[in-house]
Chains A and B, each alone.
Chain A
Amino acid sequence: MNEPLPDENVHRRWLARASFVELNARDRARALLDPGTFRELLGPFDRVRSPWLPPQGIVAQSDDGTVIARGRLAGSAALVIAIEGAFQGGSIGEVGAAKIAAALDLALTDCQRGRLIYPVLILETGGVRLQEANLGLAGVAEIHAALLALRAHVPVVAVVAGLIGCFGGMAIAAGLCSWVIATRQGRLGLNGPEVIEEEAGLAEFDARDRQLVWSVTGGASRRASGFVDELVEDDCEPIAKMIGRAWARGVPRIHASERVAPMQHLVASLGAQGIIDPNAIRTALGDRSIP
């Protein structure tokens, strides 16, 4: 059956929406927090930046592409960690990783003292910054450890808005979060499409084929296969509301990353022969929905 044509209100709603995807990291944090409550920790004027990029001929950004903000979201004390995708592909270097891990640790200290701080990570990142190699890797490991400690006390929410998406070690970070929210524009995957193509060849994965890339890693596909808990429109207010709803759900009884045996069983059942098309993945993973 044909879908009815959208009426005028649909157009008006579409035009009235405030795009979250189009904002930079700082403006995203500001847009989520209640008006007038945004307060940045280690902001651009503190000039805590990468010491490793300029010796390699790369201009450093004053905040290393990581925005840490405190404020209130729907009245709750909130910690917003937003990664700037436009700076070095949102890559995580020593400084950015230390800022994120330290912010999560501070939130943990507060939570342990009975003062709940609700954390949300806006993940726009290709993972570890290759120019900072082992320091970036060590930093991402610290973020993982901090997430594991914090998620026992308070639900940690990840938002994958796009267009960079969330890959590499930071996709593992997303996987460790209590709840994951994504837009259709967002992408989530361990290895980025270009990496798979480079390592395994064009026949394995054509990174230029946007339809293929989004059908595997895109927000809608990841929602269908249970890696994303909620799919949202690219609109600031509904995204902020959804973050609040995820916090209200509380700490999951079992985190998605603790369900190891069912995943092992699933991977074994898929086998490694031939190409598995995106629909088969959706069908196979679809049952793994999160209550």
Chain B
Amino acid sequence: METLSFHYPEALLPVARRAQVGVVGSGDLEILLEPSGPGGARVMVSTAVEGHGEVWRAVLDRFFSRYQGAVAIEINDNGATPGVVALRLAQAVERLTP
């Protein structure tokens, strides 16, 4: 198990709601997304698979290149592939809009 954290200071658009998607099942992950305090977006990742920090950075960099919400994201991962992570992130953002 490994814990990683990321910070995106430029993601400053205010967010009013929160969303939870996914399950910590095999090859899947849980995402909790909620408004963050000042200072942009923060991501905390707990993952069962060690040694893939660069892949997580790449997936999250791509996500925040298109999404500017000031969110605190908690990810609890059980070996999801980058594609699944990207889809779950998109699903979480989708849930923010009523």
Complex contact B20–A84 (CB within 8 A): no
Complex contact B74–A62 (CB within 8 A): yes
* Closest A residue to B20 using CB positions: A44
Complex contact B30–A62 (CB within 8 A): yes
Distance to closest chain A CB from B46 (angstroms): 5
Docked complex Cα distance between A58 and B77 (Å): 10
Complex contact B1–A62 (CB within 8 A): no
The stretch of B7-15, B21-29, B55-63, B82-90 that contacts the partner chain: B21-29
Q: How many A-B contacts at CB < 8 Å in the complex?
A: 49
Q: Does B91 contact A (CB under 8 A)?
A: no
Q: Does A59 contact B (CB under 8 A)?
A: yes
Complex contact A45–B30 (CB within 8 A): no
Distance to closest chain A CB from B14 (angstroms): 18
Complex contact A86–B25 (CB within 8 A): yes
| B25 contacts across to A, CB distance below 8 A | 84, 86-87
Give the total of B residues in contact with A, Cβ under 8 Å.
Answer: 18
Complex contact A45–B23 (CB within 8 A): no
Interface of A is mostly: loop
Docked complex Cα distance between A136 and B57 (Å): 37
Within 8 A of A (CB), among B24-56: 24-26, 28, 30, 32, 34, 46-48
| A54 contacts across to B, CB distance below 8 A | 1, 46
Distance to closest chain B CB from A44 (angstroms): 4
Docked complex Cα distance between A237 and B56 (Å): 40
Distance to closest chain A CB from B35 (angstroms): 11
Docked complex Cα distance between A54 and B77 (Å): 12
Complex contact B1–A57 (CB within 8 A): yes
Q: Given contacts A59-B48, A59-B76, A62-B74, are A87 and B32 in contact (CB under 8 A)?
A: no
Q: Given contacts A44-B20, A44-B32, are A59 and B74 in contact (CB under 8 A)?
A: no
| A59 contacts across to B, CB distance below 8 A | 1, 24, 46-48, 76-78
Interface residues on A, range: 10 to 19
Q: Does A61 contact B (CB under 8 A)?
A: yes
Complex contact B30–A44 (CB within 8 A): yes
Within 8 A of B (CB), among A10-36: 24-26
Q: Does A60 contact B (CB under 8 A)?
A: yes
* Closest B residue to A44 using CB positions: B20
| B46 contacts across to A, CB distance below 8 A | 54, 59-60
Q: Given contacts A60-B24, A62-B20, are A45 and B77 in contact (CB under 8 A)?
A: no
Add 14 more A-B contacts to A54-B1, A62-B74, A87-B23 (CB < 8 A): A24-B23, A25-B23, A26-B20, A44-B32, A45-B18, A45-B32, A57-B1, A60-B76, A61-B23, A62-B20, A65-B24, A86-B25, A86-B26, A88-B24
Name B's A-contacting residues (CB within 8 A): 1, 18, 20, 23-26, 28, 30, 32, 34, 46-48, 74, 76-78
Name A's B-contacting residues (CB within 8 A): 24-26, 43-45, 54, 57-62, 65, 84, 86-88
Contact sample, A vs B, 26 pairs, CB 8 Å cutoff: A26-B20, A44-B20, A45-B20, A45-B32, A58-B1, A58-B48, A59-B24, A59-B46, A59-B76, A59-B77, A59-B78, A60-B24, A60-B46, A61-B23, A61-B24, A62-B32, A62-B74, A62-B76, A65-B24, A84-B23, A84-B25, A86-B24, A87-B23, A87-B24, A87-B25, A88-B24
